[in-house]
DNA sequence: CCTACCGATCGGTAGG
DNA sequence: CCTACCGATCGGTAGG
């Protein structure tokens, strides 16, 4: 197919529409959960009909997975996985908590859908299973590197510390959401990590 | 009304039915969340029709609140609130995690519904708001008592430690559920608390 | 991208 | 406790 100005406009429009759908879907999945969100509501917020939405994403399930995948891509890039290491990586995680405190929608999305997805038949079950495994593994690697750098307090087990840190982040998000954002997630996280280190965070 | 054998049997039967409904509702709310659970499914599992269920609990919302309240009553009694104090109370919380590892349904119920209830319009929103506040307050009191007993490591702030411990318990439950019960919740909790104490846990 | 529709399911009520 | 029903809403499809 020849690339004419019309074609380019058409593709750009389609991409913009897809992005708008993903944004609105993220917000509603966060507010109402996957089960509680309806395609009609998402579509209306985008100014289209719900069969119009299904033209871009064939099923509700595909839409959810696209939303989750996009958020992960953005956050993984922001975390600079593979670049930062050791204590730097741990600090980066507290920075992420600080950033998340300005993005209620994203925090809602992951908190609510992760809880839903503990059911084995939930469409995002496998996604979150993998996500937790890799999150804990990445964090354990950071603790191991911190130990190699002599920054880890003796008696701190990297594997246990990794499970703790990921659990703490998730639990704090729930508290932050239910307490109407009065919990200082980043500061509570930093206090936890500081107690594990022999160096400044 | 005179207490005849017939009355007693009638009341006992009603109580037994109510208990069965609460048990089945707890299980399904945990599996599917509040929004995802239907009164018809709960009723069928009890061997009655869904209008039959609504004879015992007037609305779905009332049923949810009754389920949550009953679990809290049982757990508060088990925790022996007001009896155990200081380090004993912290140990009691790790014992609760150990007990919960044998009660997947209850863990699911609180994890899934708490996440749902972060929405301000969720029927259990106020319930969880209060629940978190009192849980954190009770835990902070235990840390303060531990400090008075000279059992708390210097530099550990009781208010922060309380937020951490509650968040850790909630986050570990999610990990435990999604990892198909391979996470050792109680042991990870104990490692966290030990690092804060100058005495044995 | 639309309108119009499908069958299924929801919480709750009427009336017994 | 039941049957029978209400209006609303759901995800998805037909057909254009």
List the CATH number of the domain containing B139.
1.10.357.10
Q: Please report, rounded to whole angstroms, the spatial distance between the CA atom of protein residue A186 and the C1' atom of nucleotide D3.
A: 57
Asked if B183 is an interface residue toward chain A (Cβ–Cβ < 8 A), one would say yes
Q: Please report, rounded to whole angstroms, the spatial distance between the CA atom of protein residue B52 and the C1' atom of nucleotide C10.
A: 16
Q: Please report, rounded to whole angstroms, the spatial distance between the CA atom of protein residue B172 and the C1' atom of nucleotide D3.
A: 46
Would you give the distance in Å from CA A77 to the centre of its chain? Answer: 12
- A120 in the same domain as A87: yes
Contact B35 A35 (CB under 8 A): yes
Contact A170 B169 (CB under 8 A): no
Asked if B191 is an interface residue toward chain A (Cβ–Cβ < 8 A), one would say yes
Q: Which of A112, A174, A182 to mutate to test the interface with B (most CBs of B within 10 A)?
A: A174
The CA distance from B159 to B143, in Å, is 8
Q: What is the pLDDT of residue B5?
A: 42
pLDDT digits (tens, 9 = 90+) for A67-81: 999 999 999 899 888
Residue (of B195, B19, B168, B23) closest to B97 by Cα position: B168
Asked if B159 is an interface residue toward chain A (Cβ–Cβ < 8 A), one would say no
Structure-token pair, residue A32: 């109402």
Q: Would residue A178 count as lying in a domain?
A: yes
- B108 in the same domain as B42: no
Q: Would residue A60 count as lying in a domain?
A: yes
What's the rounded mean pLDDT across residues A88-106? 96
- A197 in the same domain as A102: yes
What's the rounded mean pLDDT across residues B6-15? 64
Q: What is the mean pLDDT of chain B?
A: 93
- A175 in the same domain as A102: yes
- A189 in the same domain as A115: yes
How many independent structural domains does chain A possess?
2
What's the rounded mean pLDDT across residues B118-145? 96
Q: What is the pLDDT of residue A7?
A: 44
Q: Please report, rounded to whole angstroms, the spatial distance between the CA atom of protein residue B6 and the C1' atom of nucleotide D2.
A: 22
Whether the Cβ atoms of residue B188 and residue B100 lie closer than 8 Å to each other: no
Asked if A62 is an interface residue toward chain B (Cβ–Cβ < 8 A), one would say no
- B200 in the same domain as B104: yes
Residues 6 or more apart from A52 whose CB is under 8 A from it? A43
Question: Within a 13 Å sphere around the CA of B151, how many CA atoms are in the beta-carbon half?
Answer: 18
Q: What is the pLDDT of residue A80?
A: 86
Residue B142 CB-density burial (10 A; 0-12 exposed, 13-18 middle, 19+ buried):
buried
**A136 is in which domain, residue-wise?**
80-201
- Confidence tier at A10 by pLDDT (50, 70, 90): low
What's the rounded mean pLDDT across residues B76-104? 94
Residue (of B191, B171, B44) closest to A171 by Cα position: B171
Q: Is A1 helix (H, G, I), strand (E, B) or coil?
A: coil
Asked if A198 is an interface residue toward chain B (Cβ–Cβ < 8 A), one would say no
- A152 in the same domain as A57: no
- A38 in the same domain as A125: no
| Nearest-Cα residue of chain A relative to residue B188 | A160
B1 has pLDDT over 50: no
- End residue of a domain, out of B67, B94, B118: B67
pLDDT digits (tens, 9 = 90+) for A112-153: 999 999 999 999 999 999 999 999 999 999 999 999 999 999
- B62 in the same domain as B88: no
- B152 in the same domain as B54: no
- End residue of a domain, out of A39, A64, A89: A64
In terms of pLDDT, which residue wins out, B15 or A137? A137
């Amino acid at each position: 197919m020849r690339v004419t100005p019309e074609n380019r406009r058409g593709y750009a429009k389609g991409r913009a529409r897809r992005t708008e759908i993903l944004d609105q879907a993220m917000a509603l999945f966060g507010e109402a959960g996957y089960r509680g969100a309806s395609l009609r509501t998402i579509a209306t917020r985008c100014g289209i009909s719900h069969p119009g939405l299904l033209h871009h994403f064939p099923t509700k399930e595909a839409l959810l997975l696209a939303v989750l995948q996009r958020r992960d891509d953005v956050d993984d890039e922001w975390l600079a996985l593979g670049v930062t290491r050791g204590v730097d990586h741990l600090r980066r995680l507290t920075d992420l908590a600080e950033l998340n405190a300005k993005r209620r929608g994203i925090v809602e999305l992951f908190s609510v859908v992760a809880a839903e997805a503990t059911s084995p038949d939930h469409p995002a079950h496998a996604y979150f299973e993998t996500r937790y495994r890799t999150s804990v593994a990445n964090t354990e690697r950071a603790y191991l590197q911190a130990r190699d750098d002599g920054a880890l307090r003796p008696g701190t087990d990297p594997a246990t510390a990794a499970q703790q840190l990921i659990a703490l982040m998730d639990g704090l998000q729930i508290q932050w959401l239910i307490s109407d954002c009065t919990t200082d997630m980043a500061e509570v996280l930093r206090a936890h990590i500081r107690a594990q280190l022999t160096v400044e965070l």
